[in-house]
Structure 1
């Protein structure tokens, strides 16, 4: 690992992280969840609201992020609302870190909140996951190419090309649920087996229900600050060591290879800029809307060779006490998935690096110390975008 400021003149640290109420939240608006998460992240950091001069959010409000900032009582001088699906929050974190390093802001708050589950339950919106009634994607819609179907096709290609099995994909769901079992904030905690996954109702071949993420409510917040503010923090800083972003396609016919995601590019950038190798990473928080997403992201980030993801995940490596703990909170498959989950990845990575995940689910190195290095990698659309961030205690 190399030292030094990865972005410019100032190093950047995570000062505070927090979740709002998550899971089943029937009596709150998305704005309320934004506010709750923001207040908790500020309390976690030990800083006052007046310290915030940068703000980023996406997915809510007519003029996001201005409307959300107004709701929170903020008047930032630096804002961002870049929206690239599930990778949005890693991309926003990268933008915020670059702005802080360059001196354009001193403290940037990233906030997300959604009542997706409650809205569907109350009939406020449908769960139709078809995209593209207009524009280039309109040519795929008549063939039933929903978001789930696009991932299913990609998974089938990996199975055909590399011999990946349904049992191996199911292992991702089983191990993720085992991690969730120790997390009191996870929505689903009861153990599941490979047979449970394989025997469930088919959603989009080859995915059964347990291959797919859950639907929940929830929000979270992350506060990034310049190194100048570290002495004011309530807890030791977690440093942003490097990041990377990449995009691939929207139309399936424009995707060069169904077995390769843009994380292959964003991961390489992030690791190079952080000066670390994949084999130095102690834990990984990866977007897991579907089991195949976890498998192919592990390959593309360099934790195993292309085509070896099935064998890699089938040995218990992803468990909290495995060789590479992955989605230690239970991920989108079991813990929380209110829409765009990317910010939750950063919250969990920071909690683990701080050593504050709790006695039953804290990842520890051989010497008993908390992890030293973590990677968070978000995926947007149907492998359309990727953002990867490397975080460290040192």
Structure 2
């Protein structure tokens, strides 16, 4: 057994919480982050005095972890502030697990908050600011509409190379909406058809507005503890079975193949650490910033062969009642997407494995795969979780 494999099931998510979903009028991102953090800590049956590890980051501040620690009144013995875009809060799992297992700390709070929808300094201003701080020299001179231009490029290539259709991409958005209709917390719950997606306003060919994630406010948090402690806390423990991160590129123009992401590396490594295969996965929470993401990740993670993602999702393949439940809260396309979505993937997986997802609950769910994406198909982080009976 490798050192990495020895971490399987050694830590568990003991609490989750969120706040300010949709529109958090009158609140700052720090305030809704604190609300989510307090709810996650309370859900774990702990208090802020018990938290001695912190993992957080933000696209709006380079030293975000320090004001968060100060605002929450924490003096962490372990701190993780790696910023990999939307995959960050999935990527934070492994360092946190290592810190817990080594005894460096006893309870790690992972948290994020953003008010990009209602803040005066919103999403468009943030995109402009990040383009100055994070220049992409091979693309910036052409003034692309980032990040959507990159994802549209990947979608166009997938369609050209494998015959993927616009209708198949639309299936992803429709499936997400059907899950959202079962989730009272989702931002969009009105009916959505294939025709609605195809006829929506074109943003970057071939993607319309309904192929693109929401722009919302929102904060999320979860608490990790060692497995032996988790069993004594109020909620059913959800064990971390596998966790890996892979980064192959920053700019999409530096990808060797626009249809293959680093999920092809992170996925098999995480599944190997967990000792399971994709056939064991009961529910998949995949970072769906755009409809093409879901197809790429289903392929790269091994749920289907390369080029077959369109056929996999067709005719409700990932919708309620389909072959694989995917993005059961409605995803970034219909539930919530406050700039970086990764933390909500973990929260939904935990709820499913606790059997606390209400009308959208996947019966008998025991294994959940979570996959986060950051940048423009740049950073990929995969985690495998198991319910109380899997350790």
Q: Is 1:28 paired with 2:22?
A: no
Per the alignment, residue 223 of structure 1 pairs with 223
Per the alignment, residue 292 of structure 1 pairs with 292
**Superposed CA offset, 1:216-261 (max 9, x none):** 0010101000123124311110000011110011233321000001
Q: Is 1:19 paired with 2:18?
A: yes
Q: What runs of 5+ residues in structure 2 fail to find an aligned partner?
A: none
Which residue, out of 360, 383, 386, partners 1:389? Answer: 383
Q: What runs of 5+ residues in structure 1 fail to find an aligned partner?
A: none
Cα distance, 1:48 vs structure 2: 2.3
User: 1: distance between equivalents of 2:8 and 2:206?
Assistant: 49
- Secondary structure, counterpart of 2:188 in structure 1: coil
Cα distance, 1:128 vs structure 2: 6.8
Per the alignment, residue 203 of structure 2 pairs with 203
Per the alignment, residue 235 of structure 2 pairs with 235
- Secondary structure, counterpart of 1:250 in structure 2: coil
**Superposed CA offset, 1:169-223 (max 9, x none):** 0000001001001111000000110000000110000000000001000101010
Aligned residues: 384
Per the alignment, residue 90 of structure 1 pairs with 90
C-alpha contact 1:284 1:375 (8 A) present in aligned 2: yes
**Superposed CA offset, 1:319-373 (max 9, x none):** 2332210000000000000011000000000000000011x21111xxxx3x000
Question: CA, structure 1 residues 244+123, in 2 after alignment: closer, same or farther (shift >3 Å)?
Answer: closer
Moved over 6 A (4+): none
User: 2: distance between equivalents of 1:306 and 1:179?
Assistant: 25
Per the alignment, residue 47 of structure 1 pairs with 46
Cα distance, 1:95 vs structure 2: 1.3
Cα distance, 1:317 vs structure 2: 2.0
Per the alignment, residue 379 of structure 1 pairs with 373
C-alpha contact 1:117 1:216 (8 A) present in aligned 2: yes
Per the alignment, residue 193 of structure 1 pairs with 193
Per the alignment, residue 308 of structure 2 pairs with 308
User: 1: distance between equivalents of 2:291 and 2:283?
Assistant: 18
Structure 1, 249-258 or 166-175: larger mean CA deviation: 249-258
TM-score (norm 1): 0.93
Aligned counterparts, 1:47-126, within 5 A? 47-59=46-58, 61=61, 63-119=63-119, 122=120, 126=124
User: 1: distance between equivalents of 2:122 and 2:265?
Assistant: 38
- Secondary structure, counterpart of 2:117 in structure 1: helix
- Secondary structure, counterpart of 1:292 in structure 2: helix
- Secondary structure, counterpart of 1:116 in structure 2: coil
Cα distance, 1:140 vs structure 2: 1.3
- Secondary structure, counterpart of 1:154 in structure 2: helix
User: 1: distance between equivalents of 2:320 and 2:356?
Assistant: 14
User: 1: distance between equivalents of 2:19 and 2:297?
Assistant: 27
Per the alignment, residue 167 of structure 2 pairs with 167
C-alpha contact 2:117 2:123 (8 A) present in aligned 1: no
